[in-house]
Chain A
Amino acid sequence: MEFFKLIFALLIPFAAGYCVTSLILIRREESGPLERFALAFLIGSGILSLEMLFLSFLRIPFSVINITLPLLTLLALPATIIFRKKACFIDTKGWLHLIKQLVSGPKNKNMIIFVAEKALVIFISLKILYVLFEALIKPIVGWDAFAHWSIKAKIFFFEKGIPLLPELMAYVRSKHGDYPLNLPFLQTWIATCLGSWNDVLIKIIFPTLFICTIFLIYSSLRRSKERINALFFSFLFASLPFAVYHGSIAYADFPLAVYYTASSLFLYRFICEKKTSFLLISAIALGLAGWTKNEGLALFVINLLVLFFFLIFSSMETLKERSKKFFAYAGVSLLFIVPWQVFKLLRGLPTSGDQMPQLSKLLEHAPRLPVIIIKFYEKMFFSGNWHLLWVLFFLSIILYYKKAFSAPRAYMLLMIALNIFVLGFIYYSTKSYSFLLDGTTLNRNFLVFAPIAIFFIGDILKLAEGKQ
């Protein structure tokens, strides 16, 4: 019975996300089935948790009915539009094609490539099974997971919402009250559907997100590359020890990485194809990143900057059109970020003010610079977290420097470079420097943009003849 409840808990955000995704990516050729699957869960889960925040605003207690009914009512309109427009809702053709590809024989293909493809599919499946096993065999054991994230989820579950009593609210506040509530709400939702606090099953979110990331990387590469290339780089992502580990431990860094990956990949797609629908998806995912962790606000600024540079150098449209796109992007993202900030203000929850850059001490902090460079170097190149990702990344840039530094790839490179720069700047100018020294955050920060680094390598390297 629990299994069905769990499926239901996943199905509701998935359905909600599918409606929204289909409404935005209305044509079949805009997105493959795997990508739609991934986006559906990402967007749906974000919408669901945001709805739970609104329910908290309105002081409506959490229950399956109270959460599901407004969501389904809200989504009735987009669903109707989708059906009227005969938009791509359930991409049966796409799925059938995918299954056919999966089980088909070598046909005219090179036998080596055929075998390699099957082997890669098996390896990726094994990794997914490992993450599923590790997530669903044991309860939450990681420090941040229980001390900062899941405890709130548990409180919301037992209190049926954000507690109204001041003493309970003070208790929530003491548990890093400034952290956004996307992840705790999602865990509360799963527990609400299960009807009990099951700290094993609530972790289902993380392997699902792991699968979504693989699908996103695969689909994004598949558009311009042969299947073997897309599969190989998806496998490289699935093999990253740190990503695999974080796919099961209930920390918020991995969900943040997944939302940011979706946002960056669709921003890149917008830069390549200039379709507004992709920009919209990117904006939503970016907003959800800001709704997942405070670090998401820095990511919001990064992607906004990249879009700004693209629009500045793009000669495609009028200045007015470009400004419209820029502000629409920022506006849509903020739609997902602002409610939590307003809620914090209204309920007197703490802000992250102490982590703001200390600009007056910029010169004073100069001795930090070599330490930051050394720490970055050590963590990127000499840990078991990333295999050989970062050396491959730099080698690829050197080898294909023309490709890497010319549009549209230059924007993806800019995104990664800005991530590294902003990270360095934060450690340089804020109190977070202590976290760099004790080694508690840097690798988790790298996790956020490691998937797009893999995509970038996959995009510029050519392993087998592709359809560039």
Chain B
Amino acid sequence: MLLRKISCILFLSLMIALFSSPAFCQIEDSSFLHPAWGFETTEGWKAGSGITKLEAKEGKLRLKSSGFSYITSPELFFDTGINGMIKIRMRSDVPYSDAAIFWVGKTDKTFDIRKNIPFSIRKDNKFHTYYISMRKSPFWRGKVIQLIFSPSQDEGNFEIDYIRVERASLFGRLISGLQEFFSFETIKMRTVNIIMGQTLGGKHINFWAYLICFAIFLIVSAKNILFRWKSEDTFSTLKKALSTTIIVALVLWIGLEARILMDQARVMSIDKKDYAGKALEEKRSQSILGDFYDFIRFFKERLPKGSLVSVIFPSVYFREMGAYQGYPIRFTEKEGQEYLLVYYPNETQRKRINELKEYAPFLKFKDNQYIFKLKEKF
């Protein structure tokens, strides 16, 4: 009897796996229905913003990115109904960056920021296959006419072995879910205001935890009501079910914590690499965007202590960080102070600087990093 049951289960599992496998479903395996690129050539993929190099070599598409970057696919026409998974085998040397796939639909031809699936890529510069379940997005529907792949938001090198658009098999979805759950929440994603937490199947992990708790509550209640209704009243039955649910919630909490511990270990390893054994000045330099700290040191050394200076900086981050690290030099946004600090001005700021006839260049640190001085004070 038991053997029959086991054989039945095995047979059913086999059938499910078979029916959901890409091989079975690809009745007409054409690149038209399921586009795929092996990159003997660039195969129509083009460099978008931030890509400084794009070439196909030894069956790999090699990219160099200078920040937020993307590449665009050739013109496509495939149905999302039979394509729920994108498989990308690639490697990267960017430390913990988030990649993303965007798409353009036939009916909604505009590029829409909501139409994207982000995923984490590993930094070890080894080839990994990433399974991206596209069904996580409610916008993955109808026909797709173009894919846009953004490998990174940081500077780095990438090599793509292949990109395949496939049917979402059970195995693929399982791997995709695991990759999603264990993906590292990058430092950038965490802010002082929120830690996003893991997702699974595009839904927050807490959703699944609540679902489990609710299912347990229902199961235990049903079991107790069905089998013990004579001996216990419904109220105490529900109470027992709720107790079990709380225990399950506590166990799930520990599970979530174990997952968070993995991220914290990774954060420690990154911070150790970035900061351990360094002098205070080096640590400051490491923690501040770009080469801004070098500029801070430059003006702190050159300007008289306690000076109040006008600043033209590209963002409020640089202004406030400069004010903090630069003290006792004090900053003001008002023009007309004896000194004017300029750090990577944007187009509008550049024009403004040209209009400021009362200032003349005083010291140059690097390109786009200057100290101006009032002409009358020279």
A sample of 4 more A-B contacts (CB under 8 A), given A385-B194, A399-B242, is A154-B324, A199-B284, A381-B210, A384-B195
Q: Encode A129-156 as 1/0 by CB contact (under 8 A) with B.
A: 0100110011111111011001100110
Most chain B beta-carbon neighbours within 10 Å: one of A134, A142, A200, A399:
A399
Cβ-based interface call for B283 (8 A): yes
Distance from B359 Cβ to chain A, minimum over Cβ atoms (Å): 21
Cβ–Cβ contact B239 & A167, under 8 A: no
5 A-B interface contacts by CB (under 8 A):
A138-B287, A151-B327, A249-B192, A398-B242, A440-B193
Residue pair A388, B193 in contact (C-beta under 8 Å): no
Q: Does any Cβ of B come within 8 Å of A387's Cβ?
A: yes
A245 to B260, CA, bound (A): 12
Q: A177 to nearest B CB, angstroms?
A: 14
For residue A443, which residues in chain B have a CB less than 8 angstroms away from its CB?
193-194
**Is there an interface contact between A245 and B243, defined as CB atoms closer than 8 Å?**
no
Q: Name the interface residues of B309-335: CB closer than 8 Å to any CB of A.
A: 317, 320-321, 323-325, 327-328, 330
Does the CB pair A137–B196 fall under 8 Å? no
Given contacts A137-B271, A200-B283, A239-B253, contact A384 B320 (CB under 8 A): no
Q: Is A215 an interface residue (CB 8 A)?
A: no
Closest 7 CB pairs of A and B: A384-B197, A147-B320, A384-B195, A146-B324, A239-B257, A151-B324, A137-B275
Chain B residue numbers with a CB within 8 Å of A395 are 242, 245-246, 249
- State the CA gap A173–B323 with chains docked (Å): 14
Residues of B within 8 A of A (CB): 185, 190, 192-198, 204-207, 209-210, 213, 239, 242-243, 245-246, 249-250, 252-253, 256-257, 260-261, 264, 267-268, 271-272, 274-276, 280, 283-284, 286-287, 308, 317, 320-321, 323-325, 327-328, 330
Query: Which chain B residues border A245 with CB–CB below 8 Å?
Result: 190, 192, 195
B275/A384 in contact, CB under 8 A: no
Determine whether the beta carbon of B206 is less than 8 Å from that of A388. Answer: yes
B324 partner residues in chain A, CB cutoff 8 A: 140, 146-147, 150-151, 154
* Interchain CB contact under 8 A, A439 and B194: yes
Contact (Cβ within 8 A) B271 A133: yes
For chain A, the count of residues having a C-beta within 8 Å of the partner chain is 56
Q: Which residues of A contact B213 (CB under 8 A)?
A: 391
Contact A134 B268 (CB under 8 A): yes
Set of chain B residues within 8 Å of A98, measured between Cβ atoms: none
Given contacts A139-B284, A241-B195, contact A388 B209 (CB under 8 A): yes
Instruction: Please give, as numbers and ranges, the residues of chain B lying within 8 Å of A134 by CB-CB distance.
Output: 267-268, 271
Chain A residue nearest in CB terms to B205: A384
Residues of B within 8 A of A440 (CB): 193
A294 at the interface (CB under 8 A from B): no
- Min distance, Cβ B149 to any Cβ of chain A, angstroms: 27
Q: Which residues of A contact B284 (CB under 8 A)?
A: 139, 199
Measured between beta carbons, the chain B residues less than 8 angstroms from A168 are 330
Contacts of A128 in B (CB 8 A): none
Evaluate contact between A399 and B246: CB separation under 8 angstroms. yes
